[in-house]
Amino acid sequence: MSVSQQPVSKISSSSYRIGTGQSFGTFGELLQGVFEDETNFLVTLPIARYSKASFISHVEIEEIEVFPSYKKKSQQLASQILHHFGLPAGGYLKIESELPEGKGLASSSADLVATARSIEECFQIEIPMELLETLMSKIEPSDGVMYPGIVSYCHRKVELYRFMGSLPSITIIGIDEGGEVDTLDFNRIPKEFTLEEKKEYFQLHQQITLAIQEQDLETVGKVATRSAVLNQRFQPKANLDLIMELSDSIGGLGVAVAHSGTYLGLLLSSIDPQYEEKYRKAYEYLSKLDKEMLICHSLNFEEGLESC
């Protein structure tokens, strides 16, 4: 029986340490594009769905064994962190996630951040944000799920562009159009933007920055919808027009998409006086499309909702 299969009470306390950590995911992005200086960016939509990591450091083994075994990126990050801090190199890492993989919900980024936090707790250390981003950048482009709020994030560089804050809760009624998208492969594909498009992305970024400051959900929804439309030539969503029409008909906020994934969803303000009626209509309509559905809620960090 391996150490990971034994009850913790049966393992000598002098030979192991345990830590846990978690990270939220995102429902695609509120906005994703490029500025005139060729900076690629995205604006996150944090949701209350999580990746959770448990790490057991054990002095009697020399490598990290990861469960499930295909979570190689998390294994790689764990090894990098342990090496950087001169910590024992062996242990057991378990990842449990509520985020579908390959769908554009930041599942891989959330796995990595949760892994880092489990090691922080295990050894009672603090990993500086800049170091975490540097280590993650060696693995893949990443979303800004290490920050407690909505951020504008340079996903290819793996660095913060701007911390934007929080919004009142939004409900996302999402559908999955099927298949999977590999983040690395998607980001390798050359994408040409016109000068007019780059200028529009800058304007949209300015609009959503102000909208978040002013807690203006209507403008946030409009920006998200426009970003979804602009993304159609890169990762088209077959049901985008349909969901846009549905949102207009019931008075929704608009549409958000996973720009490099397979999900798109209708946005509703959870504090709308007509929320229940709008939700019922949207759910009934979308449930008839014979698509995998995902209902989730954005995180309002100012209300103290769990964010890490």
Residue 304 resides in a domain: no
Look at residues 160, 189, 224 and tell me which one is the last residue of a structural domain: 160
Q: Which tokens sit at 120?
A: 């922080």
pTM beyond 0.85: yes
Which residues, at least 6 apart from 231, have a Cβ–Cβ distance to it below 8 Å?
Answer: 32, 257, 259
How many domains is the chain built from?
2
Q: Which residues make Cβ contacts (< 8 Å) with residue 109, sequence separation at least 6?
A: 23, 25, 136, 142, 143, 145
pLDDT of 187 reads 65
Please return the burial class of 239, using the count of CB atoms within 10 Å of its CB with bins 0-12, 13-18 and 19+. middle
- Which pLDDT does position 188 carry in this prediction? 67
Residue 114 is given by DSSP the state H
Question: Based on the domain organization, do 152 and 23 belong to the same domain?
Answer: yes
Task: Convert the pLDDT of each residue in 222-245 to its tens digit.
Answer: 999 999 999 999 989 999 999 999
- Under 8 Å between Cβ of 29 and 42: yes
| Domain containing residue 104 | 17-160
Residues 146 and 169 in one domain: no
Within-domain flag for 306? no
Please indicate, yes or no, whether residues 213 and 104 belong to a single structural domain of this protein. no
Residue 184 has a pLDDT of 67
- Inside any domain, residue 305: no
- Considering the domain architecture, whether residues 145 and 236 belong to the same structural domain is answered as no
How far apart (Å, rounded) are the C-alpha atoms in residues 180 and 107?
12
Q: What is the CATH number of the domain that holds 269?
A: 3.30.70.890
d(CA 210, CA 219): 9
Picking from 272, 69, 279, 262, the residue whose alpha carbon sits closest to that of residue 175 is 262
Q: Tell me: the pLDDT tens digits for 130-168?
A: 999 999 999 999 999 999 999 999 999 999 999 999 999
CB atoms under 10 Å from CB of 85, counted, come to 12
Beta-carbon contacts of 263 under 8 Å, excluding residues fewer than 6 positions away, are 27, 28, 103, 104, 105, 174, 175, 176, 177, 257, 294
12 assigned to some structural domain: no
Low pLDDT (below 50) residues in the chain: 1-13, 304-308
